């Protein structure tokens, strides 16, 4: 095939069909919207097809959008959805954060004291009930890709949680790229905020690349940072809730934001539309491989809270949490992606403002101090 032609161009003579897993999620639903607007036919997979009415209503894809019921933990569950698909976007993922070992023990085994034995019990629970099923899920999807005989490329959605700006001595690097992977054994040992989610993303991406190499599947991975902006989902996406936690003062979500800031030296952001455009861009390019960070820019926690307080003065400064100062703000580099020709549309300010606007217009966020801030 001519190296200058895109993968999508090669399929232009026939109907272009893409499968999107995790279709009812924040990124998944917006990705389907983006694909439909480009003329693709989309096979969307969700666990319960009975809960897809809002998706069909929001996207109005007509005959070009088909809903398939599929479960990551059921072998063969994706076979039907992937029939005649040329492209697969694997967005579905475990969303279990389980912030600390001590909190997990209290939830899972309330009668136990926090000691070494109980920590081992929690680790075993996480390994067998969350991580192993997550790995099986990605393998099940890729097995279906291999069996289909039609799938040309897979785009795997990873996470910035797999990346760290800290070197082996714990010092912040000046530049962070796709190779700055946080060691799995370090996550097991330190159990930072959101450690279960981090492990899930690290392990599933690692296994995905291994399996794809063994089976000759063309797979690339996109690494989104904190993704925000407007949303189609009937509830506020977790990443938007995390980003706006300085406004809501959510005691469960703000520590996740602070943990990202500590690990990376700033809060890298991307607009959901840019993330979806980048996924399609990577799928359509013939000469792509490996991992691609997709971050439009970053802001520090103080910068984020200042922007929010200046633009939304109804929230007084006392509502914001005290932040630790970081003198070095590493560059979270998307050079690997932009060198291919991809360009971001939305700035950090755009992302934050559109996130707040969507929450307010949807009735999820009330800009009055005498009301609850974030409505579930």
List, by residue number, the catalytic residues. 201
Q: Could you tell me if 246 and 314 are in contact, meaning their C-beta atoms sit under 8 angstroms apart?
A: no
Alpha helices for 269-343 (secondary structure H): 272-284, 301-311, 335-338
- The neighbouring-strand residues paired with 45 are 21, 68
CA–CA dist 227, 296 (Å, integer):
10
DSSP state of 65: E
- The neighbouring-strand residues paired with 298 are 268
- Residue 197 makes CB contacts below 8 A (sequence gap 6+) with 94, 95, 96, 97, 98, 159, 161
CA–CA dist 57, 374 (Å, integer):
25
Residue 123: CB atoms within 10 Å: 15
Token duo for residue 255? 């520590």
| CB-based burial label for 285 (10 Å; 0-12, 13-18, 19+) | middle
**DSSP code per residue over 19-50:** EEESTTSHHHHHHHHHHHHTT-EEEEEES-GG
Residue 319: CB atoms within 10 Å: 16
- Residue 329 makes CB contacts below 8 A (sequence gap 6+) with 265, 266, 298, 300
For the chain, the C-alpha Rg in angstroms (whole number) is 21
- The DSSP bridge pattern shows strands 297-299 and 267-271 to be antiparallel
How far, CA to CA in Å, does 52 sit from each of 148, 238, 299? 25, 19, 36
| H-helix or E-strand spanning residue 186 | helix 184-190
């Amino acid at each position: 095939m001519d190296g200058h032609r895109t993968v999508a161009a090669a399929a232009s003579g026939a109907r272009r069909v893409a499968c999107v897993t995790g279709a009812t999620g924040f990124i998944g639903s917006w990705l389907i919207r983006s694909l439909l607007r480009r003329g693709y036919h989309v096979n969307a997979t969700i666990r319960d097809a009975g809960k897809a009415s809002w998706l069909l209503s929001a996207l109005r894809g007509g005959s070009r959008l088909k809903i398939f019921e599929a479960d990551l933990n059921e072998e063969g569950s994706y076979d039907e959805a992937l029939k005649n698909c040329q492209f697969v976007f694997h967005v579905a993922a475990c969303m279990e954060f389980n912030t600390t070992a001590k909190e997990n023990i209290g939830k899972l085994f309330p009668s136990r004291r926090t000691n070494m034995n109980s920590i081992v019990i929690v680790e075993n629970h996480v390994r067998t009930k969350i991580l192993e099923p997550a790995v099986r899920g990605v393998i099940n999807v890729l097995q279906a890709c291999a069996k289909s005989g039609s799938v040309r490329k897979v785009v795997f959605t990873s996470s910035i949680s797999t990346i760290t700006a800290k070197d082996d001595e714990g010092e912040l690097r000046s530049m962070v790229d796709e190779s700055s992977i946080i060691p799995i054994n370090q996550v097991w040992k330190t159990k930072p905020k959101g450690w279960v989610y981090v492990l899930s993303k690290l392990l599933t991406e690692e296994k995905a690349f291994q399996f794809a190499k063994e089976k000759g599947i063309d797979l690339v991975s996109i690494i989104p940072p904190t993704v925000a902006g407007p949303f189609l989902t009937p509830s506020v996406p977790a990443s938007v809730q995390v980003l706006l936690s300085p406004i809501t003062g959510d005691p469960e979500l703000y520590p996740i934001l602070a943990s990202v800031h500590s690990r990376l030296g700033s809060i890298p952001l991307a607009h959901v539309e840019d993330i979806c455009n980048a996924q399609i861009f990577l799928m359509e390019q013939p000469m792509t491989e490996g991992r691609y960070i997709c971050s439009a820019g970053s802001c520090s926690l103080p910068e984020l809270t200042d922007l929010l307080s200046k633009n939304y003065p109804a929230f007084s400064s006392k509502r914001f949490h005290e932040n630790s100062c970081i003198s070095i703000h590493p560059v979270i580099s998307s050079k690997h992606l932009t060198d291919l020709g991809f360009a971001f549309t939305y700035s950090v300010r755009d992302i934050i403002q559109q996130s707040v606007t969507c929450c307010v217009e949807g009735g999820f966020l009330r800009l009055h101090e005498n009301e609850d801030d974030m409505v579930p």
